[in-house]
Amino acid sequence: MTGDAKKPLVIGIDIGTSGARAVAMDAAFNVVASGSSKLADFSADHRDPAVWWQAVQTALGQVLDAINRRQVRAIAIDGTSGTMLPVSADGAPLAVPMMYNDPVEDADILALIKAHAPKESAAHGATSGLAKALAFQAVPDVFRIIHQADWLAGHFTGLYDVSDENNALKTGYDPVSRTWPDWIAATGMRPDLLPDVLPAGSPVAGISAEAADAFGFSDDVVIVAGTTDGCASFLATGADQPGDAVSALGTTLTVKMLSGRPLFAPEYGLYSHRIGDMWLAGGASNTGGVVLAAHFDNAQIAALSADIDPADDTGLHYYPLVRDGERFPVNDPAMKPRMTPRPDSDAMFLKAIFEGIAGVEALAYERLVSLGSPPLRSIRTVGGGAKNAVWTQIRNRKMPVPFLPVASEEAAAGTARLALTGAKSAGVI
């Protein structure tokens, strides 16, 4: 398909846990084309970097077939946070990558990180990027240890030694000082094996001649520093001001808010990503759709919701959990569910659960404010719970701020927004 070559477009690419998605976006944030592919279509081995690249090429190809390729000015990529691999100077993987949820089982590595990393660092834990980097540095002839998004971006630049501030956070990068801190060397990590780090949304380099030829791009396309899939999903919604928040009502409840200052509270699993001049902070509760699913199926929820009046309160004050323990906004591994008394009416019981989850959500935003975030300004909602109008009204009653529609739920659209930022910075738009 052809298009006006003078109308600039950017491309955002998202590589997730099951596949790749790509979108083309214009300067007014309109998505004009999209494509997708599943990793399983190429291989059952989701750890194979060649499969990641095949999925990206397929999704990108679908986008390029729908636009004029000469319109593209910039590209950015997001990847799963904490997925890492060691590479040679030309980008060849030197070991099987460790995925975002793969733990490092070497107790000595974890002890070194615990001993030297500041408590507020996101590098703690067996699945951290730093733990994986320490495990990989013994690989023979390693040039750099990089993140999934870095490796994919390298296919467009030929550079396999550059990352972004968001992906680097769990590898120990300090987003406040914008440096790899000195304590990293104390863990035994060789700093020279870590990538250079740029702010998300900043230009990395021009496209390589090989990549421009392979995809039919102009030779002035700019590759822009990307982000993690979680940050990209937030940006996709259109939230862009301090106090703008996004609630994800999925299996669990996750809240994120833009702040003018970084928030770090390791006791809540809370840390902040730097995006432009702002900070993205958030936390995850153990409440959410998992509680609803333990008592009702989707058809029952839809039917019972029709019998709920969202305007008044049951007064039951539930704290809905399926088992003991909470992470955020209350940090209490022994916390017990509070879901009694149970009304005779199933509709009333469902309403009390809705209210309880909404109450936890409200408390979560109050916690962020108490830790230094700006006042809650607006909420955008993603996930299955966003589709229930009655629940939305109950939530809005407990959090009386504007509930705004999301621009997109596609992480690739959030990454495209970063590509726009980088394109404007580079002067190509």
pLDDT one-digit tens code per residue, 10-38: 999 999 999 999 999 999 999 999 999 99
Mean pLDDT of the chain: 97
Backbone torsions φ then ψ of 11, nearest 5 degrees:
-125, 135
CB of 178 closer than 8 Å to CB of 165 = yes
To the nearest 10°, the Cα dihedral for 120, 123, 126, 128? 130
Crossing angle between the packed helical segments 346-370 and 389-398, to the nearest 10 degrees: 40
**Strand pairing of 222-228 and 203-206?**
antiparallel
CB of 145 closer than 8 Å to CB of 94 = no
Residues of the chain with pLDDT > 70, as a percent, come to 99
pLDDT tens sequence across 143-167:
999 999 999 999 999 999 999 999 9
Q: How does residue 2 score in pLDDT terms, banded at 50, 70 and 90? A: low
pLDDT at 91 > cutoff 90: yes
pLDDT tens sequence across 234-267:
999 999 999 999 999 999 999 999 999 999 999 9
Fold agreement between 9-231+411-426 and 242-404:
yes
Q: How does residue 6 score in pLDDT terms, banded at 50, 70 and 90? A: confident
pLDDT at 352 > cutoff 90: yes
pLDDT number for residue 1: 54
Alpha carbon of residue 131 to chain centroid:
20
Check if CATH label 3.30.420.40 holds for domain 242-404: yes
The continuous run of DSSP H or E covering 290 comes out as: helix 289-293
pLDDT at 201 > cutoff 80: yes
Amino acid at 108: D
| b/e burial code for range 156-191 (CB count within 10 A of at least 16 → b) | bbebbbbbbbbbbbbbbbbbeeeebbebbeebebee
Q: How many CB atoms lie within 10 A of CB 148?
A: 26
pLDDT number for residue 252: 94
pLDDT tens sequence across 181-192:
999 999 999 999
Superfamily for the 9-231+411-426 domain? ATPase, nucleotide binding domain (3.30.420.40)
Task: Sort residue 230 into left (φ over 0), alpha (ψ -120 to 50) or beta.
Answer: alpha
Residues of the chain with pLDDT > 90, as a percent, come to 98
Residue identified by tokens 């296919």 is 155
**35-52: average pLDDT:** 97
Nearest in space to 22 (alpha carbons), one of 60, 61, 55: 60
* Residue 163: strand pairing partners: 197
Give the 3-state DSSP-derived string for 369-424, with helices as H, strands as E and coil as C. HHCCCCCCCEEEEECHHHHCHHHHHHHHHHCCCCEECCCCCCHHHHHHHHHHHHHH
**114-142: average pLDDT:** 97
Domain ranges, ordered by start, for the chain:
9-231+411-426, 242-404
Which three-class secondary structure state does DSSP give residue 118?
Answer: coil
Residue identified by tokens 């004009």 is 32
pLDDT tens sequence across 369-411:
999 999 999 999 999 999 999 999 999 999 999 999 999 999 9
pLDDT number for residue 3: 62
**210-224: average pLDDT:** 98
Q: What is the pTM of this model?
A: 0.95
pLDDT tens sequence across 118-129:
999 999 999 999
Length of the chain: 429
